[in-house]
Amino acid sequence: MYAIIRTGGKQYQVAAGDILRVEKLKGAVGDTLELNDVLLVADGEDVQIGTPVLDSARVTAKITEQGKAKKVLVFKKKKRKGYRKLRGHRQQFTALSIEAITA
């Protein structure tokens, strides 16, 4: 059984027991979340597709980590003008452990 969920403007395919890194969500490590934006649930041959979401479907997840990703360097330069900028960015993320999918 798997589901397609939407969070942080992205879509993810998840199954029970998966570890997933998503855009930062509110909550502390150990908290349980219920993700309501479920777009599709598939259980073998039985497939339910939402228009755009399934109202009855829920994905239960537990927060396992709140952290920052590796640094991404952004370098800008204009030739022959002496213009150079170097910026670093670390995106915040939430690691989720998918516990259950209810259709």
How far is 48 from 75, CA to CA, in rounded Å? 45
What's the burial of 96, exposed, middle or buried (CB within 10 Å: 0-12/13-18/19+)? buried
In a domain, 45, yes or no: yes
Per-residue pLDDT of 17-58, as tens digits, reads 999 999 999 999 999 999 999 999 999 999 999 999 999 999
Per-residue pLDDT of 1-16, as tens digits, reads 999 999 999 999 999 9
How far is 22 from 101, CA to CA, in rounded Å? 17
How far is 58 from 101, CA to CA, in rounded Å? 6
Structure tokens at 28: 């502390």
In a domain, 53, yes or no: yes
Tally of structural domains, the chain = 1
**DSSP, res 29:** T
In a domain, 26, yes or no: yes
How far is 55 from 40, CA to CA, in rounded Å? 11
In a domain, 50, yes or no: yes
Domain that holds residue 18: 2-67+94-102
In a domain, 78, yes or no: no
